[in-house]
Every structure is written in structure tokens, then in C-alpha cells.
Chain A
Amino acid sequence: MSNGAEMSSPDTNTMSIIVTKGSLDWAYPPFILGTTAAAMGLEVTMFFTFYGLNLLMKDLKLQVSSLGNPAMKMPMMGMHMGMPNIVSAIPGVDAGATAMMKNLMKKKGIASVQDLRELAVEADVRMIACQMTMDMFEYGKEDMIEPLEIGGAATYIEVATQSHINLFI
């Protein structure tokens, strides 16, 4: 079987992603889309703001919580099981849920956020951190990965006007 559809030389498509969340689960959509787009020849820019800044830390300590997360149902004992909020609120349960999710990912051969981030940097994905929220949360550039640009809303808007695809995650 062969695939007949073939493009001779595609124009470079561009994509931008605003990354606003920093939990373990939400780290995946932006990095998977960003790295895959880059692998497919797109020029990608990722703009990290608010909790997305969490994903730029050199020391990545991402967590996931089932609190207030009614859609989270982990595969356990042959069923999908959710956890009542009152249980998720107990100290230590978030760490347990995080460990469970990480285990699931390892078992299924899913890349770690670390690896995906490294692949993004290797693929020349342009990483921009939001100046305003960095100041607000008092994060320093020295705590974050390199290379990293710092910019504001106008920086992002300029990128967006030139992007074929703009995503807000």
C-alpha cells in the first residue's frame, strides 16, 4: 500500500500557543502540539503566562489534582474511578494522584514533560515568558530554562498576526 498524496514543497506554516496552565495534565497539550507541529515543518512560538510559567522552571515539579476536577477518572481495577472532592482536599492526596498519573504515563510509553520540553527547544520552538506575570509572581529568569525571551502582550500579538494557527491553552 502506498500513500499517493504528496506535497512538493509546502509553504512554511506558523503556529502560536498561549500557555496559561501549569499542572502536569495541562502541560501536555501545548508541548505535544508544539513539538509535533515543529516536527511537521511549522514555525512554532509558545508564549507562557500565569501558571504556564510553571512549565518553564529548570526544576520541573508538576502536580495534578483531582480536586474540583470532576472529569478526572483514572483507570483503576478495570473501571474508571473519580475521587470525591472531600478526599482530594486531604493533604497528600494530590501527591498520590500525581504519582498515579506519572505511573500511568510511564506504563503507556508517554514522553515526560521534561523530554517534550527538551524536544521543543531542540526543534527551535520560540519560547517567550510573559513579563507581567513573571513580575507579579516574582519569578526570576535564572530559575527558568534557556533560551528564553521575555515579552509582553504586544510581543505575542505581533506573533499572532503572523501565525496561521493561534491556540489558547
Chain B
Amino acid sequence: MADQVLDAKGLNCPLPILKAKKALKSMDGGQTLEILSTDPGSVADFAAFCRTTGNKLVEQSDTDGVWTYLIRKAG
């Protein structure tokens, strides 16, 4: 179970990334954040976000137009 869940459904670029960043800021290294998004652009965006920030994209899945990302904060 993720330490925190962020519901970003219905939000478009760049809000899913910005909100994820905000949520991760208040978390400790090693904790996990689950993000739900309906933005198809978020697939490439979250991969790029994790590569650039060093946070780890642990898991990614999608069902019925909702993408779920599990990110572990670096550190």
C-alpha cells in the first residue's frame, strides 16, 4: 500500500506532475506515492520526471482510461 495517494484524475498537463512534485516534497525518502491520472500524456511525463529527478517509477498500470503510477521518493 502506498504511503500517500494523489488523485489527479481530470487534471491535464502539467498539473499531474506539479501536484506529484508537491506531494513528494512533504514525504520522506523511501516513501511511496500513488498517483491516479486520466491524462494520457502523463505516461511519458512521469517516466521523464522520474528519470530527471532520481525518484523511482516502481510501477505503472492502466485500467479504463485511468493510469496508476507508483513512485518511490529518492533518498
What residues of chain A have their CB less than 8 Å away from a CB belonging to chain B? Answer: 1-3, 5-10, 32, 35-36, 39-41, 108-111, 116, 119
Contacts and interface: CB of A to CB of B under 8 A. Distances in A.
A36 B52 CA distance: 11
A109 B12 contact: yes
A10 B53 contact: yes
A1 B34 CA distance: 15
Main secondary structure of the interface of A (DSSP, over half): loop
Interface residues of B, number: 25
B51 A1 contact: no
Contacts of A3: 47, 50-51, 56-57, 60
Nearest to A108: B12
Interface of B: 10-15, 17-18, 20-21, 39, 47-54, 56-61
A1 B53 contact: no
A10 B54 contact: yes
Sorted nearest first, the 4 A-B pairs with minimum C-beta distance are: A3-B57, A39-B21, A36-B14, A109-B10
A116 B48 CA distance: 20
A95 B11 CA distance: 25
A108 B21 CA distance: 21
Contact of A7 (B12, B18, B51): B51
Nearest to A122: B22
30 contacts: A1-B61, A2-B56, A2-B57, A2-B58, A3-B47, A3-B60, A5-B47, A6-B50, A6-B51, A7-B52, A7-B53, A8-B54, A10-B53, A32-B13, A35-B14, A35-B18, A36-B13, A36-B18, A39-B21, A39-B49, A40-B21, A41-B53, A108-B12, A109-B11, A109-B15, A110-B12, A110-B15, A111-B12, A111-B18, A119-B18
A31 to B, nearest CB: 9
Contacts of A39: 14, 17-18, 20-21, 49
B47 A9 contact: no
Contact of A10 (B48, B52, B58): B52
Nearest to B57: A3
